[in-house]
Amino acid sequence: MSAALRHHLGWLPQGVVLGLLAFAIFGPLLNMLLWAVAEQWYFPHKLPLEYGFSFWQRVFRPRGNAMVSLGNSIAIALFTVAVCLAVAIPAGYALARRSLPLRGLILLAFLLPQAFPSLAVYINVARIFYGLGLNGTIAGVVLVHTMHGLVFAVWIATAAFAAVDRELEEAARNIGASPLQAFRAVTLPLAAPGIMASAIFVFLESLDEFTGTYFVGVPDVTTLPLLLFTASMEGNYQIASITALILLVPSVGFMLFIERFLKADVLAKVGS
């Protein structure tokens, strides 16, 4: 093969591999989109026989199962973010800025849940909650999601506070601000983008959480992931695909914009 020809064909293997990868990544997504707008689709037809939105009307019917689940999911995620931030902001500030005994150990302790398969812990949380009357309540699900989101909230908040320039705080103190005033006027606003990122992350984790809700939420609290699961197991692929699409939009959006929320200076401080 001449050098010129090789140069012209050099892109071919790369192109084929990228094409295969694109099919592997977007194929399943495209299949779901087709199911979401399929009115009728059965074997051996390779494409839906009829397209339409009648299943969308069923999903978005006011007071239908899906709307209740969507409301539950959003309420639970917002409460989870509120609880996580309420405990993670003071903890992150103390871990990043103040002298604290056993600081490294405490930071590591928040990583502990990541080292154990969570399902085996959730079944026991559900058993304990059952005794407390928390099973099947929104509060119970919020607590489980809070535990799950806490590691991200604490670690990102700590990194966000660590990335704030100490000299700005000291300048505020020098002109007579109390520690609390300096925190509210200088440190917190400067750390806000990082904390916002952790809030979005906790929100998404809660929105997507399945296993904990499966054990603690039953039978009264249904969230979107549980609705999707039930619809899929019943073979109702249209409902399952539409629900999957609702969950997909915020996930993909976050993936596309994560770098705008989580700046490199904060990322560099994670775990330091």
Q: Scanning residues 160 to 219, which ones bind other proteins (CB under 8 A)?
A: 204, 208-211, 214-215
Residue 50, φ and ψ in degrees, nearest 5:
-145, 135
Residue 155's alpha-carbon distances to 111, 117, 194, 195, 268, in angstroms, are 9, 20, 10, 10, 12
To the nearest whole angstrom, how small is the minimum distance from the Cβ of residue 192 to other proteins? 18
Identify residues 231-250 at the interface with other proteins (CB under 8 A). Answer: 232-233, 237, 240-241, 244, 247-248
Say whether residue 104 binds other proteins (CB under 8 A): no
Between the two ends of the chain, the Cα-to-Cα distance in Å is 54
What are the angstrom distances between the C-alpha of 78 and each of 73, 203, 206? Answer: 9, 7, 9
Judged by CB under 8 A, the residue of 8, 27, 51, 166 near other proteins is 27
User: Which DSSP string corresponds to 2-19?
Assistant: -HHHHHHHTHHHHHHHHH
Using CB under 8 A as the binding rule, whether residue 82 contacts other proteins is answered as: no
Q: Select from 221, 197, 57 the least CA-distant residue to 138.
A: 221
Query: Of 86, 139, 168, 185, which lies in the binding site for other proteins, with binding defined by CB under 8 A?
Result: 86
134 binds other proteins (CB under 8 A): no
The residues in 136-165 that bind other proteins, with binding defined as CB under 8 A, are 143-144, 146-147, 150, 154
Contact status: 121 vs other proteins (CB under 8 A): yes
Q: Among 29, 82, 139, 185, indicate the residue that binds other proteins (CB under 8 A).
A: 29
- Min dist CB 242 to other proteins, Å, is 11
**Whole-angstrom distance, CA of residue 79 vs CA of residue 63:** 22
* 133 interacts with other proteins by CB under 8 A: no
